[in-house]
Amino acid sequence: MKEAISILKSEHRSISAILYALKELARMAHDATVRPRFQVLRSMLRYIDEYPEKLHHPKENEHLFARLVARALETRLLVEELQAEHEEGARLIRELERALLFMEEGWPVGAREFQQAVEAYAEFHWKHMRKEEQQLLPLAERHLTAEDWKAIDAAFAANRDPIAGMQERDFEKLFARIVALAPDPVGLGERWA
């Protein structure tokens, strides 16, 4: 498998793991009988905001998508759809942050709204990643040249955020923190009663 494709798929797996955990915690926050610890929910939203939104999607836009459209114009509609979804995702994450703040101030008021916002966001993001893996990647494998892949592989492996200079390892730390904070059975933290 091409290096960039395996990186892209493994990033999708990390994003999926966070989405799954976030859904589970949103459900638990709704059912909890004592005030949930909100720190872990904030860390999860930060992960989504800074990882898929600021690193993963720009890499796709600037390297994979741009080269694919240049090689095969007929892929333009699909690429534009995916790019529009990247923008929609950025808007939805702001809504999630607002819903979390609202829940944090008034819990248990706002717990249902937050849970619904999380469900909608996770569904949206899963659909997006499936579209990339099932529709876009086969087209990329068909149309891109060895030279394209070399450039894309290098860009995907470097994984730098051009704005903040953030790198992969920062996210490993954040990921580890989420696992430590998330309550049993989602993570290793103390159970919310």
Interface residues with Fe ion (CB under 5 A) are 60, 132
Token digits for 164?
Answer: 């903040």
Closest to Fe ion by CB, 64 vs 178, is 64
State the Cα–Cα distance between residues 188 and 193, nearest whole angstrom: 15
How deeply is 186 buried, as exposed, middle or buried, from its count of CB atoms within 10 A (0-12, 13-18, 19+)? Answer: buried
Closest to Fe ion by CB, 58 vs 187, is 58
Closest to Fe ion by CB, 81 vs 184, is 81
Q: How far is the CB of 152 from Fe ion (least distance, A)?
A: 13
Closest to Fe ion by CB, 60 vs 148, is 60
Q: How far is the CB of 126 from Fe ion (least distance, A)?
A: 11
Q: How far is the CB of 74 from Fe ion (least distance, A)?
A: 20
Q: How far is the CB of 16 from Fe ion (least distance, A)?
A: 11
